[in-house]
Structure 1
Amino acid sequence: FELCSHDDFAKTLFYHEVPSYYTWDDSRGWLKRRRGKDVPGWPGIKMDTAIGRIYSIHPNQSECFHLRLLLNYVQGPTSFESLKAFDGVIHVTFKATCFALGLLENDEQWKNVLAEETLSESPSK
């Protein structure tokens, strides 16, 4: 979040893209890569092949699971609250934000199908 708060280029990236353009230093934080290909339109920014890791999270850990989902679909988040914001609304949970963004589907259609089935009768034998 700190990187995206003060670096304009970082605001254009998804979480998983950051290691391709920045390296982590324990004492100084995120640093721009010094080697690699120049990024057109962004002087001083270089891209190189890098492997980053986003851990898998079981859906039973709902808020962590939905936070991870948002980190894959929201560019340049600056805070947890910014991840919960969509269309001028700050949602209460990460799950609610995922629904608002259309990243999740609900089970309403299946509930409707089952409700309709209870109203119909099977043909007699």
Structure 2
Amino acid sequence: MKSFVPTELVPSPALPTGVPVGVATMEKQFEGEVDGRSATLFTAAFDQATGVGTYLAMESFEGSLNGRHGAFNFAHSATTGGTDRSNEFFVLVPSSGTGELAGITGGGGLTVDADGTHRIWFDYEIG
């Protein structure tokens, strides 16, 4: 991850719950079969002390996917009980592809290593 910047944007009016809601922007750099960068709008209901919560992210990717150049959007979400990931969701946004990635559809997945390294893969078709 290149950057993670919390913002002041929160649901208004803020309603008190057992887990606080926050919004941030992120920049990521990818290398390998997925090579490029992304800009992300990230929101979560997350308890820093216990590591319990759920996030939802919308990413705009620009670069190459297995040698095909272009850009597209994808969304992903997951829940953690502090040591696990569950209820994972990952989708490429229809009609968002450009360049050699125009017409991209599908899904994928994301894992986060203990050191914070994000590993991403896409299960996709270009039609």
Shorter-chain TM-score: which interval?
A: under 0.3
TM-score w.r.t. length of structure 2? 0.22
- Normalized per residue, the structure richer in strand is 2
Quick one: higher RCO (CA 8 Å, sep 6+), 1 or 2?
Answer: 1
